[in-house]
Amino acid sequence: MSNRTVNRLAGSGFAERDTVNSQLTSLLRRTPAEPTTGAPDTPKHLGWLMLTALGIGATIGAGIFVMPGRIAEKAGPAGILSFVITGFIFLFVGICYERFARKVPQGVSAYSYVYHSIGEIFAWIVAFGLFLEYSFGASAVAIGWSQYLKKALNYELPSYLMGPIHEGGQFHFGINIVALFVVALVTLILVFGGVSKSAKLNFLLVCLKCGLLALFMFAGVKHMQPSLWQPFMPLGWTGVLQGAAIAVFPHVGFDALYTFARESKSLRDTRLSTYLCIGLVAFLYVAVMAIATSLAPVFVDGRINPLFKGTESSAPLASLLMASGENWCGQMIAAGAVIGIFNVLLVLSMGGPRIFRNMAEDGLLPPIFQKTHNGNPTFGVILNGIIVGLMAGFVPFEDVSDIMVLGTLVAFVFVCLGAMRLKLVNPVVSIIGMVGCVVLAFNLNPLVLQVYCVSCPVGLLIYFLYGRRHSRLAKATSQIEA
């Protein structure tokens, strides 16, 4: 073989290697901590009290009114421990979020933090998970809202119009017509009317929700039967961990809090609101779960008590009080929860479209996702409404809530990893957060993991067909090379 041939082959090998390295580099390109162009002049008007209220406002309505039944079904009375475990893990996740708020002051939520710390393709994966978090979370809340409305108005519909259910190990088809209606209503409000939710209004709604929970605890404590906590762990630690995985659902609002981080008056306000939100929410969940599981047996004759199973588990607090003879209090909680949960549904329905808007601003999605009307990204709102409506109307509550939880955990894992990579926190903090979220993820329904393993590649296909070439960072690199 001639020297010329050898040199040509060697050059070809180096060229291929450079091409591979260039491809990998493009997938891992990262945004700067401070935006180089066009950063919006966001007003700094939210103090720690309002920030805390924003986090609690989305968290309480999204979970505490609709999830205790689902968790008791998995863990029994030990659902109390499930909330403790989830709260402990999220404390470490919260530390990572708070440090990112210092490092990336113009960032919003996990998407921005991962884009800056790890790279573009992982930011896409996180954004996909956040979309699942907000959209599937909105579906689950819509189903819960339909159940509380039923309790508040005491009406009956044919079973096939109350939604699909799992019963006796079999799937029974149905259409949740009320959930479909409320999703359509929220979508129309966002598209045509626009939504301008002030922090003060949110604070009032948080006070309403906390008042309802205080009413539940005051009325429920009179009927507590601690003997019903035995056996405490009927399904062992497996059930406790499965319950802890589902308990991720109520913490949707924690990520939502950081969509307002750039509007915080100071880093101190952001830090204080982070830990207050986690602490207060964990306390409320544990207290409510302890009372709920002492009002009625979780299992009756080896089977799940109907109060904790099926569609009733979407409205357990009102159901449990009514079963204890507190009809008036049960009706009050059901009526108040209808207002509170509607507010959360509105917030969650705004979350997914705004993630798409941020991605479109970064060039990862078509510009149509950027277009807004009265402050709302119209196309994203309509697309989100269709997806949320289909899930709320045709998928059982337990399946929707599980799918949403996985998207949240994926986002949290990458936030912890990014914080460790940038050395924002002690590595132990990140490792505990990551390992905890991974353990919770693998305690979800296996079907959820399978669905995610299919749907995530579909999202990545969109990235490789469009986002990778149209990325704002890719265009900036091309201009520099030119």
Instruction: Identify the weakest region by mean pLDDT among 58-67, 273-282, 432-441.
Output: 58-67
Is residue 76 within 8 Å of residue 239, measured between CB atoms?
yes
Q: With bands split at pLDDT 50, 70 and 90, how would you rate the model's confidence at 45?
A: low
Mark 432-457 as b/e (b = at least 16 C-beta within 10 Å). Answer: bbbebbeebbebbbeebeebbeeebe
Strand partners, 166: 171
Is residue 326 within 8 Å of residue 119, measured between CB atoms?
no
Per the structure block, which two tokens stand in for 384?
A: 């989100």
CA distances to 268, 359, 368, 378, 481 from 471, in Å:
34, 9, 15, 22, 15
Mean pLDDT of the chain: 78
pLDDT value, residue 14: 45
Tell me the percentage of the chain whose pLDDT exceeds 90: 9
Residue 439 neighbours by CB under 8 Å, 6+ apart? 241
Confidence check: pLDDT of 17 > 70: no
pLDDT in tens, 335-356: 777 777 777 787 778 777 877 8
pLDDT value, residue 416: 94
Closest CA to 181 of 389, 34, 13, 4: 389
Q: With bands split at pLDDT 50, 70 and 90, how would you rate the model's confidence at 28?
A: confident
pLDDT in tens, 81-117: 998 998 899 889 989 988 888 888 766 678 888 998 9
Its pTM stands at 0.78
H or E segment and range at residue 166: strand 165-167
Confidence check: pLDDT of 420 > 90: yes
pLDDT in tens, 172-181: 677 888 889 9
Give the chain's domains with CATH numbers. 43-481 (1.20.1740.10)
